[in-house]
Amino acid sequence: MILISKAVSSACTAISRTDVVTGDGLTASRYNVDLNTVYSAANSQDGECIQSGTIIKDALDTTAFGVLLEGIAEGCKVTRTDNANLSIGNCTMAINGNFMQTATTTAATWGCTGCSAEATGTEYYVYAKSTSNDSTLTPLILTTAPGENGYDTSDNKVMGKFYNDKDNHIATYSVFQWVKNDILPNGWQPVGTPVRAYAVNSTVWTTLDISHWVGGKQTMVFLKVDMGGAMRIAFRPSNNTEDWMSADGSDISTAMINIQGNTGEVGSAWVQTGTNGKLEFLTSSAAVSFEIWLVGFQN
């Protein structure tokens, strides 16, 4: 496939001939001038000057080629730089009938012209502004979701999305890319960090907010718990009212850990977060300390 980075209009020049008169022969000078004029014009003819009657130029401009100009040629990858900044890799994109190709990364952050205000616990979309063209990518950070064609109602082209957590930080593993016609997940994300430590446990369901890592969405997480002694601990999605821990610990599910031994033993559990990226946990004892680790999660 050939990608045209920029189209330049041509100046089309018409040619003319000299009328012959009675008595002119084939070797007449005026014939030679006209023939040279035709050869020169044909050799220098620009594609812009070809008439629609001889090639389907207009059809390419208005239909088939127009579809290509509205689509993404390669795409632009969005990554998290730190708590407040994003980076958009050098890329090629087609947007609103224009090709854009950048040679270096582009930074995106809060306070950009036309961007939505920063708010906690909010999902944002990263767009290429509708005026992006040639080698210039103008990023936008908006709360408005795109349509299935990748554009919002202002003709901005989406590149990805992220989650801004309760601390006004871009959640570490919450950046997703736009692919074809939807925001797609990035698969398994290893984390390997402690998310909460307790000297005294809770015997009532208590919120565990891990949206800083997983974003404000529902996902499967793999947890590890370092126990300070014999104890049971159960997990459930936030805002769930079911009791996921039985009274005697006889019904142990994948969302429940039962440590029978001594200090230093470790248990693990798979559990689904709520739609806000939060869990709840409950322990069987208020006298045993423990530490919860987020091993990883499935986007």
User: In terms of Cα–Cα distance, which of 195, 177, 194 is closest to 186?
Assistant: 177
pTM to 2 decimals? 0.58
Give the pLDDT of the chain (299 residues) as one tens digit per residue.
344 444 445 566 777 767 767 766 666 777 778 777 877 777 676 666 666 555 554 555 555 555 555 555 557 899 999 999 999 999 888 888 788 889 899 999 999 999 999 999 898 999 999 999 889 999 999 999 999 889 999 999 999 999 898 889 998 878 888 887 777 766 788 888 888 877 666 778 889 998 878 888 889 999 998 888 778 888 999 988 877 765 444 444 557 777 665 666 888 889 999 988 899 988 887 778 888 999 999 87
pLDDT in the model for residue 78: 94
CB 238 within 8 A of CB 273: yes
User: In terms of Cα–Cα distance, which of 271, 161, 177, 269 is closest to 216?
Assistant: 161
Strand partners, 24: none
pLDDT in the model for residue 83: 93
Domains of the chain: 78-184 (2.80.20.10), 188-298 (2.60.120)
